[in-house]
Amino acid sequence: MPAPAHNLPSPNALRVVRAGLIGAGIAASRTPRMHIEEGRAQGINYAYELIDTDTMTTAPDIDTLLTQAQARGLDGVNVTFPFKRTALAHVDEIAASAAAVRATNAIVFHNGRRIAHNTDYSGFSMGFLRQIGARPHATALLLGAGGAGGAVANALLDAGVHLLFIHDKDAQAVKTLAATLDARLGLGRVRAVTDMRIAAAAADGIVNATPVGMVKQPGTPLDMALVEARHWVVDIVYFPLETAFLRQARALGCHTIDGSGMAVFQAAAAFELFTGLAPDPDRMRATFDSFT
């Protein structure tokens, strides 16, 4: 007579998945625990390591870091600042999600090949649409044109923003991103800006997609005198979750959106890429929120 169903082992009980996160200054990342706890909930032996170049005496280049991760038998890696763009030059295949934003935050290792994906786009989009509600968002100011900025720019323009102002201290990065967006969406949707006063005055909301506000780069990404109570303000930084930018914007009366939504949804999509299993985003959110 067959054993009762509740005594049967999980169909994933023998699965072993190994992944990691490559970046600089990532000791406070909540990503490993989200992956590990979701793996445990699905019966997977899931290991997730931090590959933090800030802890290395001499940091290897991204190609070496990827080669080392493959040699250790990892199934894939997440990639964060400052490698999201440079990693694309060191993969064998670029999925449509990464090609669209010209950056990767998730690289799958399969049969000796490296396949670059981007889950930042979907992660930001899902978090933003859940929290922006009916607030006007036809015009927005985006701070940051790097790897995360490219994903956020595409997501904002696909989420109802008709005119996107983009600013970055690297003028060439803005020019490159704007050209990519023009090619995909047509002219007139994007403007590179240097005068932050004019852009902020015209925008319904402001998004920080720079590293400013992270533990290792404290501060605000723009002069807070330019922020008004009518603005909605988004910060994709999530460690700390309460950045100086969000705290000061909230004190002005702004509706604020923190980086938790993007962090959770991008992690959920990456989990599926690494395991082939559909995650439970609510369960991963609960893990994210369990940090003190």
Told to judge if 169 belongs to the known catalytic residues of this protein, a careful annotator would answer no
Q: Report how far residue 146's alpha carbon sits from residue 124's, in angstroms, rounded to the nearest whole number.
A: 15
What tokens were used for 247? Answer: 């705290």
Query: How many other CB atoms are found less than 10 A from the CB of residue 197?
Result: 12
Q: Are 256 and 242 in contact (CB under 8 A)?
A: no
Element (H, E) at 155: helix 147-158
CA–CA–CA angle 102, 80, 26 (5° rounding): 170
Q: Is 22 helix (H, G, I), strand (E, B) or coil?
A: strand
Set 84, 169, 175, 216: catalytic member: 84
What residues have CB less than 8 Å from 220, skipping those under 6 apart?
Answer: 212, 213, 243, 244, 245, 248
Active site residue ranges: 84
